[in-house]
Structure 1
Amino acid sequence: MRWGSVLSLSGAALVLLLQGQLALSVIQIDPTSIDSLTEAGVTITEPMWEFYLQNQTEGIPGKLTDTWYVAGAMFMTMMQFWHVSGYDKHNDVVSHDLMFQAGENYNYFDSNYSQWLGNDDQMFWGLAAITASETGFPEIEGKPTWTSLARAVFTMQIGRWDTDECDGGITWQIHPWQAGYTLRNSISNGGLFQLAARLGRFTRNDTYIEAAEKIWDWSEDSPLITPKRNWFVADSTSGDNNCRDSGDMQWSYNYGTYLAGAAYMYNQTEDAKWRKRAEGLLGRLTTDFFPKQYDHKVFSEYACEPRQTCDRNMLNFKGWSAQWMAMAANLVPELRPQVESKMQSSAVAIGTSCVGESEGMKNLCGSRWWGAKWDGIKGLEVQQAALGGITANLMLLSSAETKTIETNPDADEKYLDTGDDDDTVLQKISTGDRVGSWILTVLWGSGIVAAGWWLIKQQ
């Protein structure tokens, strides 16, 4: 091609041509067809899996370069996709790597990473573990059940409940020497709320339900959730000011995690207050994150997408939130029409954006689902987000149930046959722990430091 011809190309096309990144044909998606959605999900999964294999840290299963939690969140999405599509090509690796990262004490607090982890990092692995239980993901013989791993994360995190400042909450970071330690953020507290609610529904154990109630009440008493501001969810609040201020950046996953937890609580308790909360959060989420300029139809992480300033974390958010919206719709049927319409139009948009090609990889998705083209962003995170959007639609169509201990008894919390004096043995919560349990009695009262030590010791 002569230079004069190149100059006649549009700027965007020129960039793509010079980079050797030519757009592929659109993935045609019928959001009302399980087969169509499954085919699209598989198409999106394969480059995501290639990114996963390319970016493992020195070949460590489940550990990506410069991040830890993202792989756990990806496994969470892949198990949901398997559950509603039957696509099991990567299940063996997901199972192995998910268990490998649980660490020597089976609590996703491995000594190799524990000095720099945040509560939100550990929390995502806990959500992956409870997802395995709810989807009936196969258990591994001779290892703790997935439910036991989720419970271990819950137990450790609730042991960090801190009433010295702000009358409660857990901090973003785990250790005082970490930058941001004094912050209490929504994804850490909302994630723990969601984990507690899901454990409560799955196990039918009131210990978790009471804990979820406590976390929500504290969140609403703090600046994190403000129903009177149209269900505004702040990103964080600072212990330095006794949680009187707030960081108001808006991210979909903060709404999504509280929404999912509220839906689980309504499904388990049938208390109308939880339905009201779920409806309020969903209303705010669908108003703000499906912007007018995209006809209120396409999911957008609007705080960073337009200028392409989303970092590695932010690129994932709407994929998780889409799945949490679908969970909420399945658990609270009154939410279904609102969720279904947003997810279906977003699925069609995903098909028009996953058309990138680079370095031999095809069907790269980009950060923007709107615009009917690939925006040039590539990586595991954007593929995972797109897969999350497709999976959300499958969750709404599939007859696959969200399991409980009654329908998935293999996932019950069990002892390991390694001896009572083995510190890695996960102790099962007994029936006597269900109401007025030792967790709530000790943690909501005094002696938080001693309680935290005792809870961790049990793991």
Structure 2
Amino acid sequence: MVRTVSNSLACALLAVHGALAAGITVDVEDADSIKAAAALVAEDLMSYYNGNESGNTPGILPEATTAGGDYYWWTGGLLWGSMLDFRGHTGETKYDSLISQGLQWQVGQNNDYLPANWSAQLGNDDQAIWALSALDADESEFTEPPSADPQWLDLAINVFGEQASDARRVDDGDCKGALRWMIFTFSNGYDYVNSASNIGFFNLAAQLAWVTKNETYADAASDTYDLLKDIGFVTDKFQVYDGAHVDECSDINKVQFSYTAALLLQGSAYMYNHTNGATEWKDRIDRLVDAITDTFFPDGVAFEAACEKASNCNTDMLFYKGILHRGLGSTMQMAPYTADKILPVLKTSAKAAVAQCTGGDNGRLCGYHWSSAKNDGTSGAGQQLSVLSALVSILPQQAVAASSGSGSSGNGTTTTGGSGSQNTTDSGASNTDVPGSPGAKLSTSLGALMGALVLGGLFLA
């Protein structure tokens, strides 16, 4: 059973803005109301996490086990990225120690988010989700780990270096140069190339370019985007398909998931900002926004087109709406002109999402089918995380105090420049309206080696 505790401040705020005895209501035009609702949803989300308790594993949701389970390892990385996003938009710092411990505990023996216990089921897409959350920590100037441990930016750079290496990629055929889905040859799925892994790498490269101002990362992002188009994973109509087997790269699985499209859009927005509004990135953003809203927001409410109508979404898929909302919210930050089109949709969707939060023993757990007029009887971490991200996506970013700031040296591989600063000039736009450290403390030599190869010009050779 999900554990719940009281939150007097949030309850008081909700009383002012129309809370019900059972359930949560929200005024999507009022920031205080949104924050109050988000605080309750976040509290219930964190009630699914017990990694900080004696005998449990920090960083991951409890049902995740080395033998597989309802929640896979990657969802832990998404959890911390989402909680950092919540922190950055509300100023709430009470979960800081859990976030810090969770992100550090799973870094693995080589400081690259490849813990040995999970090697049998680790994909490049899983590793990328954790790296992107480390970048979230760096970009939000979240308190850095102890100086003897890798810093947030170092961890992301290490992952980039490994994923850029030839060892992770298809060496011939129509998929040549693409990241495989699974990392190790003994894993089921090693012979599959999925868009999620390549889009995760694209997004990571784009954010690293924005943070470090190093054009090596920007080049990697551009090359990866082109590769996705060339293979056919991204169509001329900006549909984003799932992937293909290595030996039949032209036989593409055309199922579409919201999270891959959202991550592609987010990375494109970072590239748009990094290039000071380059026309090609603006065009990609505009076309992707249209495709995403048409496919995944029928009637203005987030809908997982591949599985929701038939009610056959698996546990992983229950998290996708959260990534969808976060990707669109991030796009508004990096390319503010997009808010005119994106924000109204996110508000409609967030309002519908909160209307689902009337379930469970506490009368406020969130369901999944947001387009339904009443709670669908489901509950879980995926449902809570997705509603939380829906609420956070319609809040403006704010400065958060009580953090030591980003002290990352960026020495995981090689970088140039300091931390990124958001460009809000929108040049080229048509209008102008975005406790504990890990047990492993080994060197970052593997990431440094891979980074050296990348910077030596071997990327996608």
TM-score under structure 1 normalisation?
0.81
Partner of 1:386: 387
Partner of 1:444: 460
Distance 1:251-1:55 versus aligned 2 partners, 3 A rule: farther
Check the 8 A contact 2:51/2:59 in 1, yes or no.
no
Q: Distance in 1 between matches of 2:160 and 2:316?
A: 22
Query: Deviation at 1:151?
Result: 0.7
88, 95, 102: which one aligns with 1:90? 95
Query: Deviation at 1:55?
Result: 11
Check the 8 A contact 2:164/2:460 in 1, yes or no.
no
Q: Distance in 2 between matches of 1:57 and 1:46?
A: 20
State how 1:16-165 maps to structure 2 within 5 Å. Answer: 25-53=22-50, 59-64=56-61, 65=64, 66=69, 67-142=72-147, 143-159=149-165, 160-165=168-173
Distance 1:117-1:277 versus aligned 2 partners, 3 A rule: same
Partner of 1:299: 302
- The answer on 1:252 being equivalent to 2:255 is no
Percent sequence identity over aligned pairs:
31
Point out where structure 1 has 5 or more consecutive residues left out of the alignment: 1-22, 402-406, 417-421, 446-459
Question: Higher helix share goes to which structure?
Answer: 1
Q: Secondary structure in 2 aligned to 1:149? A: helix
**Amino acid aligned to 1:284:** A
**Amino acid aligned to 2:457:** T
Check the 8 A contact 2:22/2:363 in 1, yes or no.
no
Q: Distance in 2 between matches of 1:221 and 1:334?
A: 29
169, 183, 188: which one aligns with 1:174? 183
Distance 1:427-1:54 versus aligned 2 partners, 3 A rule: closer
Partner of 2:247: 240
Q: Distance in 2 between matches of 1:50 and 1:222?
A: 42
| CA distances 1:130-174 after superposition (whole Å, capped 9, x unpaired) | 111111111122221101111111111111233323221101111
Q: Distance in 1 between matches of 2:53 and 2:171?
A: 38
Q: Distance in 1 between matches of 2:133 and 2:279?
A: 28
Partner of 2:313: 310
Distance 1:210-1:408 versus aligned 2 partners, 3 A rule: farther
416, 424, 444: which one aligns with 2:443? 424
Q: Distance in 2 between matches of 1:370 and 1:144?
A: 43
**Amino acid aligned to 2:22:** S
Q: Distance in 2 between matches of 1:287 and 1:347?
A: 17
- The answer on 1:354 being equivalent to 2:373 is no
> What is the RMSD of the two structures over their aligned residues, measured on CA atoms?
2.5
Query: Deviation at 1:429?
Result: 7.3
TM-score under structure 2 normalisation?
0.81
Query: Deviation at 1:177?
Result: 2.4
- The answer on 1:223 being equivalent to 2:220 is no
Query: Deviation at 1:104?
Result: 2.4
Query: Deviation at 1:188?
Result: 0.7
Q: Distance in 1 between matches of 2:310 and 2:374?
A: 16
Q: Distance in 2 between matches of 1:177 and 1:191?
A: 22
296, 317, 335: which one aligns with 1:332? 335
Q: Secondary structure in 2 aligned to 1:323? A: helix
Distance 1:244-1:35 versus aligned 2 partners, 3 A rule: same
Q: Distance in 1 between matches of 2:447 and 2:180?
A: 27
Check the 8 A contact 1:123/1:191 in 2, yes or no.
yes
Check the 8 A contact 2:355/2:374 in 1, yes or no.
yes
Rg (Cα) greater in structure: 1
Query: Deviation at 1:221?
Result: 0.3
Query: Deviation at 1:24?
Result: 6.0
Q: Distance in 2 between matches of 1:363 and 1:83?
A: 24
- Count residues in correspondence: 398
Q: Secondary structure in 2 aligned to 1:184? A: strand
| CA distances 1:63-90 after superposition (whole Å, capped 9, x unpaired) | 3322211011010000011011011221
Q: Distance in 1 between matches of 2:215 and 2:51?
A: 43
Q: Secondary structure in 1 aligned to 2:360? A: strand
Partner of 2:212: 203
